[in-house]
Protein backbone atom coordinates (compact mmCIF):
# COMPACT_ATOMS: atom_id res chain seq x y z
CA UNK A 1 0.00 0.00 0.00
CA UNK A 2 1.88 2.97 -1.25
CA UNK A 3 -0.96 5.46 -0.97
CA UNK A 4 -2.56 6.75 2.20
CA UNK A 5 -5.88 5.06 2.97
CA UNK A 6 -8.39 6.54 5.41
CA UNK A 7 -10.57 3.93 7.20
CA UNK A 8 -14.27 4.00 6.30
CA UNK A 9 -16.83 4.20 9.08
CA UNK A 10 -20.58 4.24 9.61
CA UNK A 11 -20.69 5.88 13.07
CA UNK A 12 -20.53 2.46 14.76
CA UNK A 13 -17.77 0.57 12.88
CA UNK A 14 -14.38 1.26 11.44
CA UNK A 15 -13.43 -0.70 8.36
CA UNK A 16 -9.66 -1.10 8.41
CA UNK A 17 -8.07 -2.13 5.11
CA UNK A 18 -5.65 -5.03 4.73
CA UNK A 19 -2.46 -4.62 2.72
CA UNK A 20 -2.89 -5.82 -0.85
CA UNK A 21 -0.84 -9.00 -0.31
CA UNK A 22 -2.96 -10.02 2.71
CA UNK A 23 -6.19 -9.14 0.91
CA UNK A 24 -5.22 -11.45 -1.97
CA UNK A 25 -4.39 -14.31 0.42
CA UNK A 26 -7.49 -14.02 2.58
CA UNK A 27 -9.98 -12.88 -0.03
CA UNK A 28 -11.08 -10.11 2.34
CA UNK A 29 -10.30 -6.45 1.81
CA UNK A 30 -10.38 -5.41 5.46
CA UNK A 31 -11.45 -5.88 9.05
CA UNK A 32 -14.56 -4.46 10.72
CA UNK A 33 -13.87 -3.01 14.17
CA UNK A 34 -16.52 -1.68 16.54
CA UNK A 35 -15.78 1.83 17.79
CA UNK A 36 -17.34 0.83 21.12
CA UNK A 37 -14.97 -2.14 21.44
CA UNK A 38 -11.96 0.06 20.69
CA UNK A 39 -12.83 2.34 23.61
CA UNK A 40 -13.50 -0.64 25.89
CA UNK A 41 -10.16 -2.19 24.90
CA UNK A 42 -8.37 1.07 25.69
CA UNK A 43 -10.19 1.23 29.03
CA UNK A 44 -9.05 -2.30 29.94
CA UNK A 45 -5.47 -1.38 29.12
CA UNK A 46 -5.41 1.58 31.53
CA UNK A 47 -7.58 0.00 34.25
CA UNK A 48 -4.68 -0.60 36.64
CA UNK A 49 -2.61 2.50 35.88
CA UNK A 50 -5.32 5.17 35.56
CA UNK A 51 -8.83 4.19 36.77
CA UNK A 52 -10.24 7.66 36.10
CA UNK A 53 -9.21 7.55 32.46
CA UNK A 54 -10.61 4.01 32.19
CA UNK A 55 -13.95 5.21 33.58
CA UNK A 56 -13.97 8.11 31.10
CA UNK A 57 -13.24 5.73 28.20
CA UNK A 58 -16.08 3.43 29.30
CA UNK A 59 -18.43 6.40 29.46
CA UNK A 60 -17.44 7.33 25.90
CA UNK A 61 -17.97 3.71 24.79
CA UNK A 62 -21.54 3.81 26.13
CA UNK A 63 -22.41 6.38 23.46
CA UNK A 64 -21.73 3.87 20.67
CA UNK A 65 -23.98 0.91 19.83
CA UNK A 66 -22.98 -2.73 20.14
CA UNK A 67 -21.78 -4.34 16.93
CA UNK A 68 -21.44 -7.98 15.95
CA UNK A 69 -19.82 -8.69 12.57
CA UNK A 70 -20.74 -5.22 11.38
CA UNK A 71 -24.39 -5.44 12.40
CA UNK A 72 -25.98 -3.39 15.17
CA UNK A 73 -26.99 -5.53 18.15
CA UNK A 74 -29.59 -4.62 20.74
CA UNK A 75 -29.13 -5.51 24.40
CA UNK A 76 -31.78 -6.11 27.05
CA UNK A 77 -31.73 -4.66 30.57
CA UNK A 78 -29.44 -7.48 31.73
CA UNK A 79 -26.87 -6.79 29.05
CA UNK A 80 -27.71 -9.87 26.96
CA UNK A 81 -27.97 -9.58 23.21
CA UNK A 82 -31.52 -9.53 21.90
CA UNK A 83 -31.77 -11.78 18.87
CA UNK A 84 -33.63 -10.92 15.72
CA UNK A 85 -37.18 -12.21 16.12
CA UNK A 86 -37.50 -12.92 12.39
CA UNK A 87 -34.39 -15.07 11.97
CA UNK A 88 -35.89 -18.47 12.90
CA UNK A 89 -35.81 -19.78 9.31
CA UNK A 90 -32.13 -18.87 8.97
CA UNK A 91 -31.07 -20.88 12.06
CA UNK A 92 -29.61 -24.37 11.91
CA UNK A 93 -31.29 -27.18 13.87
CA UNK A 94 -28.60 -26.92 16.57
CA UNK A 95 -29.16 -23.17 16.92
CA UNK A 96 -32.94 -23.69 17.16
CA UNK A 97 -32.49 -26.30 19.91
CA UNK A 98 -30.05 -24.04 21.76
CA UNK A 99 -32.41 -21.05 21.58
CA UNK A 100 -35.32 -23.19 22.75
CA UNK A 101 -33.30 -24.56 25.66
CA UNK A 102 -32.08 -21.10 26.61
CA UNK A 103 -35.63 -19.70 26.51
CA UNK A 104 -36.91 -22.63 28.60
CA UNK A 105 -34.14 -22.08 31.17
CA UNK A 106 -34.95 -18.36 31.37
CA UNK A 107 -38.65 -19.15 31.86
CA UNK A 108 -37.83 -21.67 34.61
CA UNK A 109 -35.60 -19.15 36.40
CA UNK A 110 -38.25 -16.45 36.12
CA UNK A 111 -40.81 -18.83 37.68
CA UNK A 112 -38.33 -19.73 40.44
CA UNK A 113 -37.64 -16.05 41.17
CA UNK A 114 -41.38 -15.42 41.38
CA UNK A 115 -41.76 -18.30 43.84
CA UNK A 116 -38.81 -17.05 45.90
CA UNK A 117 -40.30 -13.58 46.17
CA UNK A 118 -43.49 -15.08 47.58
CA UNK A 119 -41.63 -17.40 49.97
CA UNK A 120 -39.27 -14.79 51.40
CA UNK A 121 -41.73 -13.69 54.07
CA UNK A 122 -42.36 -17.13 55.54
CA UNK A 123 -40.03 -17.66 58.55
CA UNK A 124 -40.00 -21.44 58.12
CA UNK A 125 -38.41 -21.20 54.64
CA UNK A 126 -36.29 -18.06 54.93
CA UNK A 127 -32.98 -19.96 55.26
CA UNK A 128 -33.70 -22.15 52.24
CA UNK A 129 -34.78 -19.13 50.21
CA UNK A 130 -31.62 -17.25 51.13
CA UNK A 131 -29.45 -20.24 50.18
CA UNK A 132 -31.17 -20.64 46.80
CA UNK A 133 -30.89 -16.91 46.10
CA UNK A 134 -27.16 -17.02 46.83
CA UNK A 135 -26.71 -20.04 44.56
CA UNK A 136 -28.62 -18.28 41.76
CA UNK A 137 -26.47 -15.19 42.20
CA UNK A 138 -23.34 -17.33 42.00
CA UNK A 139 -24.34 -18.83 38.63
CA UNK A 140 -25.77 -15.63 37.14
CA UNK A 141 -23.95 -14.34 34.10
71-113 tens-digit pLDDT: 666 666 666 666 656 667 777 888 888 878 887 887 888 787 7
CB contact at 8 A, 82 and 102: no
Rounded to an integer, what is the distance from CA 121 to the centroid of its chain?
36
Reported as type and span, the H/E element at residue 30 is strand 30-34
Can you give the residue ranges of every domain in the chain?
1-83, 87-141
Mean pLDDT of the chain: 78
Instruction: Give the Cα-Cα-Cα angle 136, 137, 140 (nearest 5 degrees).
Output: 85
Q: pTM of the prediction? A: 0.48
DSSP string, 87-110: -GGGS-HHHHHHHHHHHHHHHHHH
44-65 tens-digit pLDDT: 999 889 999 999 999 998 888 7
- How buried is residue 57: exposed, middle or buried, by Cβ count under 10 Å (0-12/13-18/19+)? buried
Amino acid sequence: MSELFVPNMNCANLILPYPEEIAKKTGSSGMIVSIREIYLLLARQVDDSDPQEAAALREIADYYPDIYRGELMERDSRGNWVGDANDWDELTDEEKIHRGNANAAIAALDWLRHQLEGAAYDYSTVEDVTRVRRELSAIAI
